[in-house]
Amino acid sequence: MSFVARIAAPLALALACALPAAAQQKDKGYEPQVGQAGKDVIWVPTPDEVVDRMLRMAQVTANDYVVDLGAGDGKIAIAAAKKFGARALGIEYNPDMAKHAQLNAEKAGVTGRAKIVQGDIFASDFSQATVITMYLLPALNLKLRPQILSMRPGTRVVSHSFNMEDWEPDETSNLDGRRAYLWIVPANVMGNWILEAGGEKSDLAFEQRYQKIDGHVALGPVHAGLRDTRLRGLAIAFAYVDHAGVRRDFTGRVSGGRMEGSFRAENGAEGRWHAARK
Ligand SMILES: C[S@@+](CC[C@H](N)C(=O)[O-])C[C@H]1O[C@@H](n2cnc3c(N)ncnc32)[C@H](O)[C@@H]1O
């Protein structure tokens, strides 16, 4: 056997063995590693039971458009579509991961409702979302906070593990030591309004810090403090005690520079009310 033949035969054999292995490797596709670097935060998936609680505490339905900021393998967007029938979008910076997540959506049979796209959450428009989900970092939540607060009132925001500092959550759930937080984007009611109820007009003023409101209503020289105030998205409630010592309770909805609803007084009086921004 010549030298060339002696070298060529084992080489050909080695190549023949190596080729199927290489093909097999390719078939396996991209395998993300927990802890791998991301643009602003590493990839760690949210456990299934926490994903479930996040979507349930946001009360996701088929009418929702859920956007997961930093989608990883797409599991939150896929669960929103598969379990709750929502439309869902995942935004993932890592292009390989975004492709892998989109493949997962295909495998889950939800591509009609869930999509994972490559993008930077800090350069993406997610203003149409009715529900935002995230598992990021405290500093990233804070960076996103102004954009989130400018979203449509009533938008629900859920975050795994990390809160938003002085914007207190509307709900905190615990699951095996893991926390999930919910916020509901509040309407802006801060400032002065004219309240009309039962044929009477009064000045009404609200102070507001996120979803927490307080205020007073002018009853002649008295600025009567509001009681039991509540703002949940567009839904507002407050009460005050009038000149005669009768408590009046108001519930209603905010719509831009107007709010309206119904009131009920302890003396049995009831009716509609509305208020307009001054
Ligand atoms: C902690 S993982 C959470 C994944 C998924 N949301 C979950 O809860 O299972 C964060 C993901 O955000 C991605 N990411 C980091 N910075 C990003 C950015 N600026 N824009 C989009 N995605 C980003 C990472 O690649 C990673 O997949």
3-state secondary structure of 144: helix
Identify the residues whose C-beta falls under 6 Å from ligand 1. 38-41, 43-46, 68, 70-72, 75-76, 91-94, 97, 120-122, 135, 160
Lookup: tokens for 214 = 């307080």
User: Which atom of ligand 1 sits closest to the CA of residue 133?
Assistant: 6
Q: What average pLDDT does range 143-148 have in this prediction?
A: 98
44-53 core/surface letters (b: 16 or more CB in 10 A; e: else): ebbeeebbbb
Distance CA 138, CA 241 (A): 42
Q: Is the pLDDT of residue 228 over 70?
A: yes
Q: Is the pLDDT of residue 138 over 70?
A: yes
* pLDDT tens per residue across span 100-132: 999 999 999 999 999 999 999 999 999 999 999
pTM score:
0.89
Question: Per-residue confidence at 17, pLDDT binned at 50, 70, 90?
Answer: very low
DSSP H or E run through 186: none
pLDDT at position 28, please? 58
Please state at what angle helix 95-107 crosses helix 75-84, rounded to 10 degrees. 20
| Length of the chain (residues) | 278
Q: Is the pLDDT of residue 212 over 60?
A: yes
